Structure formats: structure tokens, C-alpha cells
Amino acid sequence: MPRKPKKQAADGKTIQYATLKVRLYPNETQVELFENTFGCCRYIWNHMLADQQRFYLETDKHFIPTPAKYKKEAPFLKEVDNQALIQEHNKLSQAFRVFFKDPGHFGYPNFKKKKTDRDSFTACNHEFESGPTIYTTQDGIRMTKAGIVRAKFSRRPQAWWKLRRVTVEKTKSGKFYCYILYEYEVKTPEPIVPVPETTLGLKYSMGHFYVADSGDMADPPHWLKQSQDKLTKIQKRLNRMEPGSKNYQEAVQKYRELHEHIANQRRDFIHKESSRIANGWDAVCMRGDSMGEMSQRLKRGNALEAGFGMFRECLRYKLARQGKPLIIVDRYLPTTRTCSTCGLVLDGEVPYKKRLWQCPKCGAVHNREINAAKNIKAQGLAQYLQYFDCQELRESA
């Protein structure tokens, strides 16, 4: 069957999505239902993946069975929301689509394990004459099978937003959260052509999170380092305790809650900083650094700990909502050892410990990170203007 075309927005408008995260407070019956749903989703995923592999070995063709195939041999699947099982089938199909499209970037789908994979399920909202299957109330969320689950809202959606789906997640510390996806139409923003005065160049920095071409630095607090003493004390206590005891379980709970607190602080800083930059500048130029490769190459710290990849993604969609571009330049450009004044490229790398260096041609003294940010900005603007000129030539032709 041909695929159903994606819904188009009205002329002059575009469809945007917003996700609200709320804390859930389910009762005992709802907790048991959620736990069963998590297990059924893992069961369906693993069986569909195993049958797909077996079918491919026997026929050399790709095929994923639907969840309905397993309900006869596993009657407990009928006790949970059918939408959660259908979404597992959709997720597995999507995982194979992106893998076949780009195997070098997306890995082959793996089997799910209870101890390592996160507990979550997704359910879509459907509109019927009797009303929607999922909706929010003053102090809760109504879900299929679970009924109204008590929830705490940090913010409320606008009246014209349409609820599309919800994702229920259980954290390692035992807390339940719900991610509510809304869809709404907005006026399509006019594209903004960047100019040097309103463009910002950013370079990732191990010590300062990022350094701008103007010399500004983020310098976020190092939450993990500040909490390291607490983590060390808890780890020492865990080593002296008997695994499985009551005190051991309490210490593990504190350890998990501390890590979640650090992750929430990091996420809060990233969203606030990316919003400030997206609202204050017309364009941002960054280098397409691979944080995974950088963390393996650098020995001075963990590049993945700062969350710079998440910061780059937040900047991308927040700028796009205002018609502003995020320009990514090649990560292999020698931005650090290129003089931003005269353009001379040094033969060797500038040592990391050497914060300042002098250009042998023009004599300009550079801070290695600020100089790299200036080069990223210059290369990004040239790259964007070249693309913009090509687009005009195509339209005129």
C-alpha cells in the first residue's frame, strides 16, 4: 500500500511540535499496569526482532510481524494498552528504515534488556465521536486502561494545541514522568540572511563549555565535580554494605537520585543558554565535532559529560523556529592553527597547553579558542553565502 502523505499546514503556516514533561503520581493499580506495559513492550520488541532475523535467514527478505500475531500465545498482552504494542512495531520498523538508509551512522536494532534499557511506552491519541482517548484534566492525564493518572504540570498547553501522543517513562530512581507531544500551526517565519554583525561563532571548549568569537565564555558550573564528594561517600558506603540489604537499597536510591539531579541541572542550563543565543543572534556558526570521537581522543576530561551535542541540537531547532540558520562547518578544518587576521595556516598543531600563540607572518597574538571561533564564523558565513548564491542562480534559471 502507498504511504499516507504527511499532513500539510495551511498556506503561509507551518506545523510545529512541543513536548511538555510532567511528573506522574500513579496509584498502586496504575503502577502495576505501567510495569506490565513496560514488560509487554520489551516482549513484543524482542519477539518481533527475533522473528525478523529468522525470516530474513530463511527467505532473504525483510518482514516484521505485527503484535496481533503474538496475542494467542501470550494472552497477557491483551491486558495492556494495544497502542503501546503498536508503537513498538512502528519504532522497530523505523529503526530498520534508518539502518538501511545509513548503516554507518545508525546501528542494527538490538534486543532490549530489563536491567539496561529504560522503561517506557508510547501511546497515540485518537479522536472519536465520544471524545479523545487521551486528554489532560486539571490535575491529571486520562489514559487508556489506566484512567486518570494524577500529574503535576509545570506549564499548560495553549488552547489550540492538539495532543498527539504521550510517552510514559520510569526513571532508575522509581519516578514516573509523562512526555506529552502537542501539534500546532504557526506562521511560517521569514528566512533571515545572516550578516557578520549579527552572527555568532561558537567553538566547543573543555574548560568553558564554549568560547564565542567575541571572547565570551559560558563557564557553566561543573555539577558532577561539585557532587563528586557526595558520590564518593555513597560509593564507599555501598562497598561496605551487604548487597540486597535495606541500607544498601537506600544508598543505591540516593546514588540514582543524585545522578538524576545532575542531569536535570545540565538540561536546564542547556535549554536556557540555547534560548538566550537563539533569541539574541540571527545566525550561529559551529563546527560539526563528533563528541564521541573527541572523548576518546582527549585525556583531560569527558567530552560527553558536558552535553554539547544536546546544546547544538537545541540551538538548531530553536533557531529554525525563527527562520534563523545554524551553520555547521567541516570538523576537520584547521580552525585552531589558522590565523584569523591574515589566513596563514601553521604546519603543526598548536599544543593544547599553549593558550596563546603568535602568527609568524603578521605578528598577531591569538587566543587559540577565540581564534578558532573567529575562523568558524568566517568559514560559516562564506559557506552560507555561497549556498544562498547557488539557490538564487537555480531559481533564476
pTM beyond 0.95: the answer is no
Instruction: Judge whether 305 lies within some domain.
Output: yes
Q: Is position 4 within any domain?
A: no
Are 315 and 208 in a shared domain? yes
Q: Are 174 and 205 contained in the same domain?
A: no
Q: What is the pLDDT of residue 300?
A: 56
Is residue 152 domain-resident?
yes
Residue 306 inside a domain? The answer is yes
pLDDT in tens, the chain (397 residues): 333 444 556 677 889 999 999 999 999 999 999 999 999 999 999 999 999 999 999 999 999 999 999 999 999 999 999 999 999 999 999 999 999 998 888 899 999 998 888 899 999 999 998 889 999 999 999 999 999 999 999 899 998 999 999 999 999 999 999 999 999 999 988 888 888 999 999 998 887 889 999 888 887 777 767 777 888 888 888 888 888 888 888 889 998 998 888 888 888 999 999 999 999 999 999 998 877 777 666 655 566 677 888 999 999 999 999 999 999 998 888 888 888 888 888 887 776 667 888 888 888 888 888 999 999 999 999 888 877 665 654 555 5
Residues 160 and 209 in one domain: no
Do 200 and 148 share a domain, yes or no?
A: no
Q: What pLDDT does residue 64 have?
A: 93
Predicted local confidence at residue 2, as pLDDT: 37
Q: What pLDDT was estimated at residue 20? A: 95
Q: Are residues 241 and 382 in the same domain?
A: yes
Q: Are residues 183 and 153 in the same domain?
A: yes
pLDDT for position 328: 92
pLDDT of residue 7: 59
CATH code at 247? 3.30.420
Residue 2 lies inside a defined structural domain of this protein = no
Asked if residue 215 and residue 81 are part of one domain, the reply reads: no
pLDDT of residue 1: 35
Residue 205 sits in the same domain as residue 331:
yes
| Structural domain contains residue 294 | yes
Does 311 lie in the same domain as 224? yes
Task: Show the domain range for 108.
Answer: 13-187
In a shared domain, residues 76 and 119: yes
Residue 1 inside a domain? The answer is no
Check residue 201 and give its pLDDT.
Answer: 94
One domain for residues 384 and 348: yes
Residue 336: the pLDDT is 86
Whether 176 and 211 map to the same domain: the answer is: no
How many C-beta atoms surround the C-beta of residue 329 within 10 A? Answer: 22
Count up the domains in the chain and report the number. Answer: 2
